[in-house]
Each structure stands twice: as C-alpha cells, then as structure tokens.
Amino acid sequence: MTEYLVKLRYYPGDALEKIKERDLKGFARKYGVRISYEKIENRQMKERLLMEDTLNKKIEDISQEVITVSGDREKKFSGCIQALYKRYRCPRTVYSLLGSNEAGEKIAKGLMNIHGGW
C-alpha cells in the first residue's frame, strides 16, 4: 500500500488566514489522515521592522508554518489537500513541498493547478 506524505510550507504572509491546530484536527478527522503542525519563528524586530536574515540558513530554519499530511488512501489524502488549499491557498514558493515523498508531492502539485497554483 502506498503511503502519501506532503509537507506544505507556508512562509509569513502566504496563508489566507491564520492556521489553527484545531482546524487541522478537524481536517484530519474528516478525511482520515494524519496531520501535524509546526510553526518556526526566527524573525526579530530591528529598527521597528520585523526582519529575518535568511542567507546561509537551511530552509527548515527559516520562519514558516509547516503542515504535514500523511495517509494511505489516495482519495482521502487528495480531499484533505484540496480542503487545505481552499482554506489557506496553495503554498507559494518552489520550496513549499520540500520534505514530501514522491507520491504525496505528485498529488499536491497536481491539485495546485486547480486551486491557484504557485
């Protein structure tokens, strides 16, 4: 059985609304998938501006919100990804799916074209 795994990386300002863990738990129950959430915040206030030096940093260390979705039923997995895209929009950079497996990335990329793309 194929395991689908995708990491959706939303950088500051990307998501259409605030990502809430309780909403993600609802998606997980509705679609029968596993969802985890991680918020990485490394921006600092400098001269009254919120800034981050991203040069020479690993992608995993840059400020972002990461929604990880996994499951073994393609239709349920796809439905969940579509629902996430409708709620938050598609992630917006070429690094947005970094850390996904091939099967999950293929589905996530295919659905991006339906919901606004990169």
Residue 118 domain-assigned? Answer: no
Residue 82 lies in a domain: yes
Do the domain assignments include residue 38? Answer: yes
Domain assignment present for residue 75? The answer is yes
Tokens representing residue 94 in the block:
């070429």
Closest listed residue to residue 108, CA positions, set 97, 98, 118? 97
Residue 58 falls inside a structural domain: yes
So what's the pLDDT on residue 67? 98
72 found inside a domain? yes
pLDDT reported for residue 115: 62
pLDDT in tens, 37-74: 999 999 989 889 988 888 888 988 999 999 999 999 99
For the chain, how big is the Rg over CA atoms in Å?
A: 15
Q: Please report the pLDDT score of residue 53 as a whole number.
A: 85
Average of per-residue pLDDT across 5-27: 95
Is 117 among the domain residues? no
Which ranges constitute the DSSP H helices of 1-118? 21-31, 74-88, 102-112
Q: Which residue has the tokens 């300002």?
A: 13
Residue 76: which CATH number? 3.30.70
**Residue owning tokens 């990502």:** 19
| Three-class secondary structure of residue 21 per DSSP | helix
- Position 118 pLDDT exceeds 60: no
Name the burial class of residue 44, with classes exposed (0-12), middle (13-18) and buried (19+) by CB atoms within 10 angstroms of its CB. Answer: exposed
Residue 54: which domain range? 4-112
